[in-house]
Chain A
Amino acid sequence: MALALSQDAPASRSIAIDVKKVSHRYGGDGKELQVLDDISLRIEPGEFVALLGPSGCGKSTLLRLAAGLETATSGDVLEDGRPIRAPNPDRILVFQEATLFPWRTVRANVATGLEARGLIREREHHIDEVLKLVKLEGFADFYPHQLSGGMAQRAALARALVNDPKLLLLDEPFGKLDSLTRLRMQNELLDLWKSAAFTALLVTHDVEEALLLADRVIVFSDRPASIVAEVRVERPHPRRRDDAELVALRGSLLETLGISHDV
């Protein structure tokens, strides 16, 4: 059914993700590390979901599975009903570090995906559009070491967006930025998500960030991660961080994470 639907609408700009009874272990050498324990969740097309949890709990692993960089030890991760077995530029991962290729200029970094898929000729104009979108049009010929942290992360976003991803996987993308840059980037991400209409899955350990951005916040337990809470955030964007409902949600989420009200 889901398969038929996706074939009917090939121009669809977002995909649904189904995580079905996924468990994942790392290792071998007698030392096995279980990071995910029987996770099941569904993310609707175009939805913005935040995964919240203590650091090292396995949130990032779920992103790697969704990106197709790894395959789950057991269970399935499906995109529009089809199992994910390999990376695909429809689903792009943005890391905590910008991980720009330091030997490539900003423009060449953004062009990487098109170049790798042999689409550079037909889609080259798209690079300039995306650079403008992330406000880096004046920095196209700069090398990554000449960029600030925020600019680098914006370039990394542009490198993902130029491929018109249907699913954007964000692994604490603003974790290393200073707090002002972070606020600005959160708003920019929100704008991009609204205009490009992709599905977004954001891993974060910042409760406020999750509440400001996401339609739904899913809380993971400590390793091996299982889902301990799920909160729907109904407030319309732009959200204010002192919104009474959000403050209340923040309190209950922090409590779920094992931290008392007064923090």
Chain B
Amino acid sequence: MSAAVEESFGGAGRQALASPFTGIWRNGLLAAGTWAFAAALTYGLPDVISWGATNLFALLTLIGAGIFLLLSVSVHRLGKAGQTLVHYGPWLIVIGLWFAVWEVVTAKLGWLPKPFFSPPQGLLHVYVTDWDRLLICVAYTGRLWALGFFSGVAVGFTAGVALGWSKRFAYWGMPLLKLIGPVPASAWIPCTFFIFPSTFHASIFLVALASGIPVAILTAAGVGQVNRSYYDVARTLGADNRFLIFKVAIPASLPNVFVGIFMGLYYSFAVLVVAEMLGAKFGLGWYLQFNTAYSAYANVYAALIIMALICAGLVRLLFIARDRLLGWQKGIL
């Protein structure tokens, strides 16, 4: 086994070469098996009631199985993406199994109570038939979240820097922040709806409040904790106040700021849905509530999955942004 082979295949290569089927991704084959099994169950057994999209789901899982079958011999040629796939091999197998079990206990045997539990084809049916409305809801939610979150972070960050830097700001601002900070943003709902001209503005305010307060608190703490020697060094090198704030205090407190932004991100999701359930005309929160009222639980699950993907995606984006900006910190962490 030459070093070159080891190198080009990385960990994946070593695993495959160690197995009796040289060059074959065993977990890929198994995943193809479980997915094909799920497809066969879905297509072969009759549904207890019609959910729509049963055959489509069977087809999609079969296509999935086909892809895994192809990948099981070609994954080593895909480089980095291939390595990621290989890493998640066991997950792919289990997802196929999960499809099969889910299919059997809902659509095929009807063991789980009916309006509340939907089989996979029920969700698929929602995506196929209601995609336009879901898309609009995603856009509405996205607009509300973006306006609220970014304005909240901007205000929170500015306030935090001022509070951490200026003693006078801290004297007047800190007690207020300590008083208002712990109150959950959703507790403001009764007031906001008559303070603001529209529910949209009120919702933006709530999301901004939820994301801004942790950012303000952690930024203030971060700026306050900056090592005094950094200021001394900068001052002897000829720095003025402006330089001290923008080139010393802010970069030095950025790790704290990011902790605040992460907290704010999670809080903003929580408030977002609540805000949309109150008097909004579109949006994922509204979609959830609307469909719950009609017992359309397949739609609820479909929206929940979209929400989970969006939130996880945003968290991931924030991680990427942090790693870009705080690369200098790697040795410290």
* Contact indicator A102/B238 (Cβ below 8 Å): no
B234–A97 touching, CB < 8 Å: no
Residues on B with C-beta less than 8 A from A92 are 236-237
B332 touches A102 (CB 8 A): yes
The yes or no answer to B240 lying at the interface (CB within 8 A) is: yes
Quick one: given A95-B229, A101-B230, A103-B251, are A143 and B328 in contact (CB under 8 Å)? yes
Q: Which residues of A contact B80 (CB under 8 A)?
A: none
Closest to B250 in A: A103
Closest B-chain residue to A119, C-beta based? B238
Interface string of A206-218 (1 = CB under 8 A from B): 0000000000000
Q: How far is the CB of A97 from chain B (nearest CB, A)?
A: 7
**CB of B41 within 8 Å of the partner chain:** no
Q: Say whether B189 faces chain A, with CB atoms less than 8 Å apart.
A: no
Question: Does B6 make an interface contact (CB < 8 A)?
Answer: no
Decide if A89 touches B237 in the complex (CB within 8 Å). yes
Map CB proximity to A onto B218-259 as digits: 1 under 8 Å, 0 otherwise. 000000000101101111111110010001100110100000
A99 lies within 8 A of B230 (CB): yes
Residue A104 CB within 8 A of the other chain: yes
Question: Closest chain B residue to A118 by CB distance?
Answer: B238
Given contacts A116-B239, A117-B238, contact A99 B251 (CB under 8 A): no
Cross-chain contact B236 with A93 (CB below 8 angstroms): yes
A115 x B233 contact (CB < 8 A): no
Q: How far is the CA of A163 from the CA of B243 in the complex (A)?
A: 17
Interface residues of A in 115-164 (CB under 8 A from B): 115-117, 143-146, 159-160, 163
- In this assembly, does A112 line the interface, its C-beta being within 8 Å of a C-beta of chain B? yes
Please state if B237 and A112 are interface contacts (CB–CB under 8 Å).
Answer: yes
- B contact residues around A145 at 8 Å (CB): 328-332
| Number of B residues with CB within 8 Å of any CB on chain A | 25
Asked whether, in the complex, the Cβ of B251 is within 8 Å of the Cβ of A113, the reply is: no
Q: Is the CB of A51 closer than 8 A to any CB of chain B?
A: no
- A68, A69, A92, A103: most-surrounded residue (chain B CB, <10 A): A103
| Interchain nearest-CB distance for B263 vs A (Å) | 22
Q: How far is the CB of B243 from chain A (nearest CB, A)?
A: 5
- Interface hits, B278-333 → A, CB 8 Å: 326-332
Interface majority SS (helix, strand, loop, mixed), chain B? helix
Q: With an 8 A cutoff between CB atoms, is A83 at the interface?
A: no
Please, which residue of chain A has its CB at the minimum distance from the CB of B326?
A: A103
Tell me if B331 and A69 are in contact (CB < 8 A): no
Total interface residues in chain A, CB < 8 Å:
30
**Among B237, B240, B248, B332: residue with most chain A CB under 10 A:** B237
Contacts of A64 in B (CB 8 A): 232
How far apart are the CA atoms of A99 and B235 in the complex, in Å?
A: 13
Are A102 and B233 in contact (CB-based, < 8 A)? no
Q: Which residues on B sit within 8 Å (CB–CB) of A116?
A: 234, 237-240, 243, 247
**A101 CB, nearest partner CB in chain B, Å:** 6
A25-44 residues at the B interface, CB under 8 angstroms: none
A87 at the interface (CB under 8 A from B): yes
Q: Quick one: which of A220-239 are within 8 Å of B by CB?
A: none
Task: Report the bound CA distance from A102 to B325 in whole Å.
Answer: 12
| Interfacial chain A residues near B252, Cβ < 8 Å | 101, 103
Which of A69, A95, A101, A117 meets B235, CB within 8 Å? A69
Scan B87-101; emit 1 where CB is below 8 A from any A CB, else 0: 000000000000000
Within the complex, which residue of B229, B234, B332 is in contact with A112, where a contact is CB–CB below 8 Å? Answer: B234
Q: Roughly how many angstroms separate A87 CA and B233 CA in the complex, as a whole number?
A: 10
**Complex Cα spacing A95 to B326, Å:** 25
Chain A residues whose C-beta falls within 8 Å of the C-beta of B243 in the assembled complex: 115-116
- Does residue A67 face the partner (Cβ distance < 8 Å to B)? yes
Instruction: Please determine whether A87 and B236 come into contact, CB atoms closer than 8 angstroms.
Output: yes
Query: Which of B227, B238, B326 has a CB less than 8 Å from the CB of A89?
Result: B238
- In the complex, are the beta carbons of B331 and A99 less than 8 A apart? no
Residues of chain B with a CB closer than 8 A to A68's CB? 236
Q: Is the CB of A103 within 8 A of B236?
A: no
Which of A92, A93, A113, A116 is the most central at the interface, judged by chain B CB atoms within 10 Å of its CB?
A116
A24 interface hit (Cβ, 8 Å): no
Residues of B within 8 A of A115 (CB): 243, 247
Q: Residues of A contacting B254 with CB < 8 Å?
A: 103
Question: Once bound together, how far apart are the Cα atoms of A91 and B233, in whole Å?
Answer: 11
Chain B's nearest CB lies how many Å from the CB of A149?
Answer: 13
CA gap between A113 and B327 in the complex, in Å: 23
A69-B232, A93-B232, A116-B243 known; A101-B248 Cβ under 8 A: yes
Interchain nearest-CB distance for B333 vs A (Å):
10
Cα(A143)–Cα(B251), bound, Å: 14
A-B contact pairs, 8 of them (CB 8 A): A69-B236, A95-B229, A102-B329, A103-B252, A103-B326, A103-B329, A112-B234, A145-B329
Besides A92-B236, A93-B233, A116-B239, 16 more A-B contacts (Cβ < 8 Å) are A87-B238, A89-B236, A89-B238, A93-B236, A95-B229, A102-B332, A112-B234, A112-B239, A116-B243, A116-B247, A117-B238, A143-B328, A145-B329, A145-B330, A145-B332, A163-B238
On A, residues with C-beta under 8 Å from B are 64, 67-69, 87-89, 91-93, 95, 97, 99, 101-105, 112-113, 115-117, 143-146, 159-160, 163
- Which 9 A-B residue pairs are closest in the complex by CB-CB distance? A145-B331, A113-B237, A116-B239, A89-B238, A103-B251, A117-B238, A87-B235, A143-B328, A87-B236
